Structures are given as structure tokens and as C-alpha cells.
């Protein structure tokens, strides 16, 4: 059997890959593993369970709640809320465990289960592996030790979660948003109520699109993966800017008043300078991945800030931030982590802080984002090659060295084997798009001949 847990929990097509039986079994396994680890020692355990609006979330939530309660865990059902809201509430309510049902930016048929540890942090890899092992052992026959009578978990709705989370978001803002007109694209997802409420309470005039989830339309032609509707709405309403979330609202991308995209790198650049002004950017350092645009790195260095780069994936960014106490990190995709106020990427918080900076400075988002110039970036996927030999080919190493010499300090090359497919990704950045295309094309040819 392949490993169930990926980089962001267990994910797959709901009712095919991810069934009710699996959701129930994993939840019982999680309860037993955390009990073994001493998490529940000396008290009756509590879990916070939330979901995005996908139709499949209804039956999967029922399965998770049943599994936890059958294992003696009391459950607070918070309903449809963003992933970062479930993480926040897990910490704020002193719960032993958080569970979020979502497949984030994936299409509607998919769903996923993400377990959160006490405090709202991602479970350690070892605990996830142990949950998977225990789940498999019991799936193939070993009976569970089940509580009876008063020992079974109790389930109640925790409707206060919405207000508690929104109040937290507004409370961390350094200033109000009065005078701003902002378009919010909620991707028909988990933040459809939360995000407009938070922006409105903070003083902004809000226009919403993609805020009518029906269980089937999540991420459909809208949200952070499809910015066309947001760009049109910003121009139509003469808004100061627009903000787009994904299905579980842990990401945020923006669109300036002219309709141009402002990506995660630019958002981090704006927030980094704002946080430095407030002495909130610890060690004057931002954590980014190797896929962040070279323009971001050059801009931060020009501003006297340090960049620490990690492998691609928000989990690696978060690990680096926690280990060294850094306050800001994220990815080009808009997954931005502000560790003083959130344990995970929080798209609503990111959008609010971006808006606060616009309101505070009186400058447009376009002007603020111009602190960095996005260098042209060309990505070529080379299929049907042996991705395991990327680091072993002398021919490829020579071609990369030659390309780096040609590009100089205003360009770079990155070769990444895909984690899931037999292909290698060739990424080239350069000050000139034609040069980037030319170098990427040449390198892709060498990858084919050397690794094919």
C-alpha cells in the first residue's frame, strides 16, 4: 500500500479514494495514537472539527465525528470554516486535536482530511506515520478497544467559532481599512462568510464574488486559481484592489486597481517592509522557497533584508520559521505564513494585512508591489525521463553551469525532479523573456538526451 498521508494530509477523490470507512478509521486511529503519545493524559480529550463546503464534506464530517466520539473524544463541530480558522480554534480552545476536511484548491470531487496537533500546528510526520500504521492494523482485523457508557465522546455544535475567529483577525490589524473599496473572490469556498465579515468589520467597503457555495461549485472558474473574474470585477467597480482565496482559504493572491496580478512573492515583499517598520520582522529575515522569483530575492537584498530559502512546500517554510523563530514566510502561490498570528497560511489574514498597509500608507497596491520587479520566469516540463539521475549527469551539470554563466547575476536556473511523475521541471529566470526561453529550451533538450 502507498503512503496515505501526503504533504497536506490525506487527499483523493471523495467516496472513491477517500471513503467514509477510511475517514472513520483514520479518526479512531488518530485518537488512539494521540492517547498513546500522552496527549490526552489526565483529562477528557476534545477535538475541533471543521470543513469546507464540498458536498462530500457532509458525509466525511459525519464519519470523522463518529470515529472520534466512538474513541472517547468529545467533539466541537465548527461547521464550514477555513483551514486556518480550525487551526486557530484548536489552539484558542485548548483542544487536543483539530480535524479539517478540505482538498484546498483541488476540484470539487476531491476531498481531504488534515489532522492538527494541540495548539493548531501540523502533526509531526512520525505521528502521521503511526496513525497510518495503526489504521492499517485495525482495518485488517484487530478489534479496537472501545469505551462504553459515559466514556463515549459527546458531540456539540460550536457556533461561536465564526465570531471568535473573525474577532481574532480584526484584532491583529495594526490599523483600520476605512476608505478602501475591495473586491473579495471567495472561490465558493470555506471563507465565503468569514472573509467579507472580517474586511467589513475592519472598515472596508466590500464587494464579493464567488461567495455562494452550494457544495458543488467550489474553485469552479474562480478563486486564486482563476483570477479572470476578480480582475474584471475590480475594474468594473473601480475598486482599490481585489483579493482571491482558494477553497480552504489558506492562500491569498491579489489584483491591483489596473487589473494586474499581485502574486505571493509581491505580497510577502509588501508585508516584509511593513513588518520591519513595526519591528515585527524578526532577524530582518523572510523565508521563501527555491521557486520564489529572483526579483523577490533581489528586492529584499536591496532593502537590506535577508532571505532564507527552503524546498518547495509550505510545510518546509513553516519548519524553517519555527526552528529559527522567523515571523514571515511563504510561497509564490500565495501561501503566506505570519507566525505571530497564525500557525498555518491564512489567506484572510494575509489579505487584511495587505489592505492595512494600503490604508496606512495611502499608496496604491500597484505602487507598493513595485518594490520588486518580477523577472520573466519560464518553466518547461520534460516528460519520460529518469528523474532520479538529475544530480548524477555530468553532461547536465556542464549545461547548467554554462547557462548560469550566460545569465549572470540577473538570472538563474533550477532543475527539479517531479515528486509524483516521471518528469523533470526546468525553470529559468532572466531579465529578458527571450533569453529565458532560449536557455530553458536548450536545457530541456539536454535533460532529454542525458536522462531519456
**Spatial distance between the Cα atoms of 64 and 100, rounded to a whole number of angstroms:** 10
Q: Please give the annotated binding residues for Mg(2+), written as ranges.
A: 104, 246, 248, 250
**Which residue numbers belong to the known binding site?**
104, 246, 248, 250
Which of 221, 229, 245, 219 is closest to 110 using CA atoms?
Answer: 219
104 is catalytic: yes
User: How many angstroms separate the CA atoms of 270 and 253, rounded?
Assistant: 13
* Candidate list 104, 224, 292, 393, residue with the active-site label: 104
Q: What does the alpha-carbon distance between residue 143 and residue 176 come to, in Å, rounded to a whole number? A: 56
Note whether 242 and 207 are within 8 A (CB): no
Provide the pairing of β-strand 253-256 with 261-262.
antiparallel
Query: CA 373 → CA 101, 296, 376, distances in Å?
Result: 37, 7, 9
C-alpha cell at 434: 527571450
378-390 b/e with 16+ CB inside 10 Å = b? bebebeebebeeb
For 195-221, b where at least 16 C-beta lie within 10 A, e where not — what string? bbbbbbbbbbebbbbbbebeeebbbee
Cite the active site residues.
104
Amino acid at each position: 500500500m502507498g503512503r496515505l498521508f501526503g504533504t497536506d494530509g490525506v487527499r483523493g477523490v471523495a467516496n472513491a479514494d477517500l471513503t467514509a470507512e477510511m475517514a472513520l478509521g483514520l479518526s479512531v486511529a488518530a485518537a488512539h495514537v494521540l492517547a498513546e503519545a500522552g496527549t490526552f493524559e489526565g483529562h477528557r480529550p476534545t477535538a475541533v472539527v471543521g470543513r469546507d463546503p464540498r458536498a462530500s464534506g457532509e458525509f466525511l464530517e459525519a464519519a470523522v465525528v463518529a470515529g472520534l466520539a466512538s474513541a472517547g473524544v468529545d467533539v466541537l463541530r465548527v461547521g464550514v470554516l477555513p483551514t486556518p480558522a480550525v487551526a486557530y480554534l484548536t489552539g484558542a480552545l485548548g483542544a487536543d486535536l483539530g480535524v479539517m476536511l478540505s482538498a484546498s484548491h483541488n476540484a470539487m470531487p476531491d476531498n481531504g482530511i488534515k489532522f492538527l496537533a494541540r495548539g493548531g500546528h501540523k502533526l509531526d510526520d512520525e505521528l502521521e506515520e503511526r496513525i497510518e500504521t495503526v489504521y492499517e492494523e485495525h482495518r485488517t482485523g484487530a478489534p479496537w478497544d472501545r469505551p462504553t457508557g459515559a466514556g463515549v465522546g459527546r458531540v456539540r455544535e460550536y457556533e461561536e467559532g465564526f465570531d471568535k475567529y473573525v474577532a481574532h483577525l480584526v484584532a491583529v490589524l495594526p490599523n483600520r481599512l476605512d476608505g478602501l473599496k475591495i473586491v473579495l473572490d471567495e472561490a465558493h469556498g470555506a471563507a465565503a462568510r468569514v472573509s467579507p465579515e472580517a474586511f467589513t468589520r475592519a472598515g472596508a467597503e466590500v464587494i464579493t464574488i464567488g461567495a455562494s457555495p452550494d457544495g458543488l461549485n467550489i474553485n469552479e472558474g474562480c478563486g486564486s486559481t482563476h483570477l479572470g473574474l476578480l480582475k474584471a470585477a475590480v475594474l468594473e467597480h473601480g475598486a482599490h484592489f481585489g483579493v482571491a482565496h482558494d477553497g480552504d482559504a489558506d492562500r491569498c493572491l491579489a489584483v491591483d486597481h489596473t487589473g494586474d496580478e499581485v502574486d505571493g512573492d509581491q505580497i510577502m515583499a509588501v508585508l516584509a517592509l511593513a513588518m520591519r517598520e513595526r519591528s515585527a520582522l524578526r532577524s530582518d529575515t523572510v523565508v521563501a522557497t527555491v521557486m520564489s522569483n529572483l526579483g523577490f530575492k533581489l528586492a529584499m537584498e536591496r532593502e537590506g533584508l535577508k532571505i532564507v530559502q527552503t524546498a518547495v512546500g509550505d510545510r518546509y517554510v513553516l519548519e524553517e520559521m519555527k526552528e529559527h523563530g522567523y515571523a514571515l514566510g511563504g510561497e509564490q502561490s500565495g501561501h503566506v505564513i505570519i507566525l505571530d498570528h497564525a500557525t498555518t497560511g491564512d489567506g484572510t489574514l494575509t489579505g487584511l494585512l495587505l489592505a492595512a498597509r494600503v490604508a496606512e500608507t495611502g499608496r496604491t497596491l500597484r505602487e507598493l508591489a513595485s518594490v520588486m520587479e518580477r523577472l520573466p520566469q519560464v518553466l518547461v516540463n520534460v516528460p519520460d525521463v529518469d528523474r532520479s539521475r538529475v544530480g548524477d549527469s555530468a553532461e547536465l551539470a556542464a549545461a547548467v553551469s554554462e547557462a548560469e554563466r550566460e545569465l549572470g547575476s540577473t538570472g538563474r536556473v533550477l532543475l527539479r525532479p517531479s515528486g509524483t511523475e516521471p518528469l523533470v521541471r526546468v525553470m529559468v529566470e532572466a531579465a529578458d523573456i527571450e533569453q529565458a526561453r532560449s536557455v530553458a529550451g536548450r536545457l530541456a533538450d539536454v535533460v532529454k538526451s542525458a536522462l531519456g
